[in-house]
Amino acid sequence: MHYDVVASFVTPDGLQIPLLFHRIRARPNWGELKEDRWKQECERSAFPIVLKELKRLFPRLRMCIHLDALYATDANFTLLQELNMGYSIVRKAKVLKTVGEDCEGLEKFCPSVENHIEAGRFKIHQTIHFFNDIAYRGHKLSLVKLDESAEKKPSKRQAKVISKNSHWEWIIQQRLDSNNAREVATSSRIRWKQEEMFNDLQHHGFGICHDFNRAPTAQLIRTFLILIAYAITSILLHTKLGQAILTKRMTVTFMMERMFTDIIYIPAAILFNGKDPGQFRWATGPPIAFAC
């Protein structure tokens, strides 16, 4: 049984490029665990490996790592600090209870940031509370709380007003104040786009769930190819050049099929007989190979 961990570069507008892929093999001591618990254990064991590999591959790149509540542990805080990486980690009710209790006690004395937004047909009101220097096992943590109420404007077809209240909390590496709390809360929500990536890979044409091959090497190659295809698709959808190429008649699916067809009909001499690695570029005409 295999699980895959993927670290991706994510931007606010939705561009996602998988940077690092790590495959986990089952361990004998996980055999008796339930599936959810098994998944948690394998993710925790992979996290230090993935983080250190990211640092090795991109030693000069400043990173902010966005994580779910599973990673809010003393060991992970220490590791992130040692690697000099920023972080934004979800905090849930059952995670870091003492930190939550401290923030609840301080909330009466700390100022809040109020924010009003109109997004499409929604009126959104946000209340943001922030806390610094919360003690937890030798660490000084910062935490931001976001309470959001969204109210849908009435339409001609549906006169009812639909409202929704939401609450989120994140543990943040940087120090918070009234000037940056709103920006930090907004940027912390970027992790949801990573969840959208997994949904796309499973249900929107990439077929990552339908691997009937049991050969480990073949599985690995197949997953790499799917992630490369996803990165190309994301670039086409979220860059000005990609949007210029794609028209109403040329969908992403059509474009990917055309690229695959071009590769099939490239002469073998161009693909395999060159002295140096080749780079292939696509335009409206036939592909051209450039030595690099």
Q: pLDDT, tens digit, for every residue of 235-265?
A: 888 888 777 777 666 777 777 777 777 777 7
Euclidean distance between the first and the last CA atom of the chain, given in angstroms as a whole number: 40
Instruction: Quote the pLDDT of residue 289.
Output: 43
Pairing of strands 2-10, 64-67: unpaired
Q: Which segments of 29-158 are extended strands (E)? A: 64-67, 86-90, 112-119, 122-136, 139-152
Mean pLDDT along residues 215-223: 81
CA separation for the pair 29, 7 (Å, rounded):
26
Q: Which residues 6+ apart lie within 8 Å of 209 measured at CB?
A: 202
Q: Residue type at 3?
A: Y
pTM of the model: 0.79
Q: What share of the chain is helix, strand, coil (3-state, %, to 5)?
A: 40, 30, 30
DSSP 74: H
3-state secondary structure of 137: coil
d(CA 188, CA 64): 10
pLDDT digits over 89-136, tens only?
999 988 899 999 999 999 888 888 998 888 777 888 999 999 999 999
Distance CA 129, CA 110 (A): 7
